[in-house]
Structure 1
Amino acid sequence: MTTEREAHDAVRHAFGDSAHAEVTAFPAGNVSITLTKGEHAATIDGHPESGWGWTVDPGDDDGFSGHENTADSLDEALADVRAALL
């Protein structure tokens, strides 16, 4: 299970102080992260056992349509988001 603190630490490890993250951990172990960096935003949702989905700069109509990108771990999702923002 990934806690809110662990998620914040993972974001800080990937982005340093250059990004702001709002993290919500749910009782079943799912985690939702909204990350902002400059003019960009990303959402990362997932669970350590089932994987992570992520989207950079989602459109207004993408709210509940899921994520086009997936990763096996939170660290991998954060690295992919970081690469997409560079």
Structure 2
Amino acid sequence: MTTEQEARDAIHHAFGETAHVDIETFPAGNLSITITRGKHAATIDGHPESGWGWTVDPGEDDGFSGHENVATTLDEALVNVRAALI
């Protein structure tokens, strides 16, 4: 399971101090992560056992429609999000 602190550490490693991060942890261990950098934002939702979905600059109506992009690991999702935000 990825804890909130492990997620924060991974995000800090990927972005340094250049992004604002909000993380919500759910009882089953799923995480919902919002990363904001400048005028852009990304959401990453997932769990280490089921994978991670991510979207950069989601529309207001996209909140519960799922993610077109998926990654096996949180680190993989962060690499892709970082490439899109920088």
Question: TM-score range with shorter-chain normalisation?
Answer: over 0.9
> Which residue identity lines up with residue 4 of structure 2 in the other structure?
E
Q: Which amino acid aligns with 1:75?
A: D
Q: TM-score, normalised by structure 1?
A: 0.96
Query: How does 1:29-68 map onto structure 2 within 5 Å?
Result: 29-68=29-68
Aligned-CA RMSD value: 0.7
The share of aligned pairs that are identical, in percent, is 74
List structure 1 runs of 4+ shifted beyond 4 angstroms.
Answer: none
Equivalents in 1 of 2:7, 2:47: separation in Å? 11
Deviations 1:28-47 (A, max 9, x none): 11011011000000000000
2:60 & 2:26 partners in 1: Cα distance? 24
Partner-residue secondary structure (3-state), 1:77 = helix
Distance, in Å, in 2 between the alignment partners of 1:61 and 1:28 is 25
TM-score (structure 2 length as normaliser): 0.96
Amino acid at match of 2:12: R
Give unmatched runs, 5+ long, in structure 1. none
Q: CA deviation at 1:85?
A: 1.3
Q: Map Cα deviations across residues 16-37 of structure 1 (whole Å, 9 max, x no partner).
A: 0001110111121101101100
After TM superposition, give the deviation of residue 5 of structure 1 in Å. Answer: 0.6
State the number of aligned residues.
86
Q: In the TM superposition, what is the alpha-carbon distance from 1:63 to its structure 2 partner? A: 1.1
Residue 76 (structure 1) shift: 0.3
2:70 is matched with which residue?
Answer: 70
